Amino acid sequence: MKLHRPTMMKHLRQEEEWDVCIIGGGATGLGIALEAAASGLRTALIEGRDFASGSSSRSTKLVHGGVRYLEQGKMSLVSEALKERDRLMTNAAGHVDDFGFLIPVKRQWARFYYGIGLRLYDLLAGSHRWGRTEWVGKREITNRLPHLAELGFIGAWRYRDGRFNDAELALGLAKTAAQHGAILANHCRAEGFIKEKGLVAGVHIQDVLTGEKFQLSAKVVVNACGPYSDAICRMDDPEHEDELRPSQGIHLVFDAEILKGGDALLIPKTDDGRVLFAVPWLGKVLVGTTDTPVDRIDMEPLAMEEEVAFVLDHANRFLGLQLKREDIRSVFAGLRPLIQGRRENTAKLSRSHEVGASPSGLVNVRGGKWTTYRKMAEDTVRFFKKECGLEFEPADTAVLALDMTNTQPRGMHPKDESELASAVTLAVEEEMCMTTEDFLARRYRTLFLDAKNARSSAVLVSELLSQNHGLNAEWAQRQSLDFQNLAQHYLPTP
Ligand SMILES: Cc1cc2nc3c(=O)[nH]c(=O)nc-3n(C[C@H](O)[C@H](O)[C@H](O)COP(=O)(O)OP(=O)(O)OC[C@H]3O[C@@H](n4cnc5c(N)ncnc54)[C@H](O)[C@@H]3O)c2cc1C
């Protein structure tokens, strides 16, 4: 079935009882929807805003084992992620790039230290290795990245990892899940649970676009709301105490010229001891990220002034540039769903993520990262069989090709008006694009690549969307205004 919202909504209301209802349409929820549907389970997924509108469109765009976890001794986490990296390269063929990452070093001891670590990274990948880590000498650095040589670096290690378009992969997961019979709806928010004898038996839902309220019954309900999971747990149990400690990360986006040489860059130690990446992406360069614990869990997290200053300062220091705020094309912030605290009734399946059930039977999936979404989904669906009494034969998604229909990576939206009109129609008919934000932030990545450009396109995109949805000029005006207000937050304050 196509990702066409009116058709999906019709099916969502028709079914009397679902095997599984998943709340949350980010990497975690969409991965579970695919795994469950491919295993023959009658699967519904509801997403309160748009697919991947949470953390899953705000990542550093790496499909990676995570070299920095080596320093923390998390070998099994790294090795698991490296396996998943390789599977994704095959299953989403053409949509994960095998990319070079440079770690520049200034001293011989650092060359030795990082050299050992990266050899271990290659070793942990085993048969899933993507090529050997190599030393790039001063001469090549001087030729390709003269800024680095001037800053006193004696060379760099180049290792391989993956790069992807996170929102595009999320849509690929949604399309593949739909092909396997899952029914998915964006802009449908879970508002509460139906309970029978104290056990969760379904979900109260509001269609955010029309205000309509309805409910679904399901044998198993899954909370896959990433950083927002604790709020869902409180709908089940008002006494629930937070189990996540979300941490905010921001990225700054610059024009491609700031990073020459064709490789990405990893700065191994910033002033606060974490790593910083500069990654060429869809014709721009992303620099990030920060790691700021936050108490407020906003749907639209905002970059803090000190975070912007921190990343800008490090970009200038390590790239030998004098970038100013005016050079920033976009700033975006996301929340990492980090696990902390009580672990009652949870089955800790790996160091990266946890699957467990609350006393009411609500299945909670926490933690993890984009790269390991498939493993999280596999563990969750096995949990349905082991702990929730569902009978089925699990599918082998390790070898399941994803429906990545776009042959060209989607960066900036088309400028040509007739191409734009076709792109909007396609996004509405086959990708459940409902709002101006859905189109300019995630069907295309304009908002993330160039927020000013996105703002100036909002009027036209809103008009085209209103024609496709059969809505009036007033709707288009409101959409355009809402989007312009949102995009303001993706521009740095002068
Ligand atoms: C700054 C940053 C950089 C990162 N970089 C990388 C990287 O390079 N590589 C990597 O592998 N991982 C990376 N990660 C981690 C990765 O992005 C996350 O682990 C992953 O996206 C989490 O997905 P999720 O589906 O659990 O959460 P989300 O994507 O946040 O999805 C949860 C969804 O639940 C929905 N929701 C909330 N409440 C409701 C409700 N009441 N009803 C219905 N829906 C609801 C939200 O709208 C949201 O879409 C990064 C994370 C951050 C923050």
- Does residue 252 share a domain with residue 374? no
Confidence at residue 350, expressed as pLDDT on a 0 to 100 scale: 39
Token pair for 134: 């190599």
In a domain, 321, yes or no: yes
- Does residue 260 share a domain with residue 155? yes
pTM of the shown model:
0.96
In a domain, 379, yes or no: yes
- Does residue 344 share a domain with residue 306? no
pLDDT < 50 stretches in the chain: 342-351
**Does residue 367's CB lie within 6 angstroms of at least one atom of ligand 1?**
no
8 Å CB contact between 356 and 380: no
**Does residue 297's CB lie within 6 angstroms of at least one atom of ligand 1?**
no
- Residue 289 Cα to ligand 1 midpoint, Å, equals 15
- pLDDT per position as a tens digit, 369-398: 999 999 999 999 999 999 999 999 999 999
Q: How many domains does the chain have?
A: 3
Confidence at residue 345, expressed as pLDDT on a 0 to 100 scale: 37
- Residue 163 Cα to ligand 1 midpoint, Å, equals 17
Q: Is the dihedral of CA 420, 422, 428, 432 positive or negative?
A: negative
Centre a 10 Å sphere on the Cβ of residue 281 and count the other Cβ atoms it contains. 24
- Does residue 251 share a domain with residue 141? yes
- Does residue 157 share a domain with residue 10? no
- pLDDT per position as a tens digit, 172-196: 999 999 999 999 999 999 999 999 9
- Does residue 432 share a domain with residue 452? yes
The one-letter code for the residue type at 489 is H
Residue to substitute in 59, 169, 221 for testing ligand 1 pocket (most ligand atoms within 8 angstroms of CB) = 59
Confidence at residue 341, expressed as pLDDT on a 0 to 100 scale: 56
**Does residue 31's CB lie within 6 angstroms of at least one atom of ligand 1?**
no
Alpha carbons 194 and 205: distance in angstroms, whole number: 10
Shortest-distance atom of ligand 1 to CA 227: 30
**Does residue 104's CB lie within 6 angstroms of at least one atom of ligand 1?**
no
**Does residue 56's CB lie within 6 angstroms of at least one atom of ligand 1?**
yes
- Does residue 439 share a domain with residue 392? no
Judged by DSSP in three states, 158 sits in strand
Confidence at residue 347, expressed as pLDDT on a 0 to 100 scale: 36
Q: What's 389's domain CATH number?
A: 3.50.50.60
In a domain, 73, yes or no: no
- Name the domain boundary from 317, 335, 353: 335
Shortest-distance atom of ligand 1 to CA 368: 19
Judged by DSSP in three states, 152 sits in coil
In a domain, 427, yes or no: yes
- Does residue 350 share a domain with residue 298? no
In a domain, 331, yes or no: yes
**Does residue 165's CB lie within 6 angstroms of at least one atom of ligand 1?**
no
Nearest CA to ligand 1 atom 10: 370
Nearest CA to ligand 1 atom 4: 59
Q: What's 281's domain CATH number?
A: 3.30.9.10
- Does residue 325 share a domain with residue 186? no
How does DSSP classify residue 443? I
Alpha carbons 414 and 424: distance in angstroms, whole number: 10
Q: How far is CA 275 from the centre of its chain?
A: 19
8 Å CB contact between 48 and 21: no
**Does residue 368's CB lie within 6 angstroms of at least one atom of ligand 1?**
yes
**What range does the domain containing 125 cover?**
97-162+247-335
- Name the domain boundary from 399, 429, 449: 399
In a domain, 455, yes or no: yes
- Residue 111 Cα to ligand 1 midpoint, Å, equals 35
Shortest-distance atom of ligand 1 to CA 190: 42
Residue 128, CA atoms < 13 Å, CB-side half-sphere: 20
- Residue 132 Cα to ligand 1 midpoint, Å, equals 31
Shortest-distance atom of ligand 1 to CA 371: 11
**Does residue 177's CB lie within 6 angstroms of at least one atom of ligand 1?**
no
**Does residue 202's CB lie within 6 angstroms of at least one atom of ligand 1?**
no
- Does residue 193 share a domain with residue 206? yes
Q: Which of 350, 395, 281 is nearest to 81 (CA)?
A: 350
Output the DSSP codes for 346-365: EE---SSEEEEE-TT--EEE
**350-357 CB contacts, 8 Å cutoff, 24+ apart:** 350/76, 350/77, 350/80, 350/375, 350/379, 351/74, 351/76, 351/77, 352/77, 352/80, 352/81, 352/376, 353/379, 355/379, 355/380, 355/383, 357/383, 357/387, 357/388
In a domain, 251, yes or no: yes
**Does residue 162's CB lie within 6 angstroms of at least one atom of ligand 1?**
no
- Residue 135 Cα to ligand 1 midpoint, Å, equals 35
- Residue 373 Cα to ligand 1 midpoint, Å, equals 10
In a domain, 87, yes or no: no
- Does residue 287 share a domain with residue 187? no
- Does residue 329 share a domain with residue 251? yes
**Does residue 145's CB lie within 6 angstroms of at least one atom of ligand 1?**
no
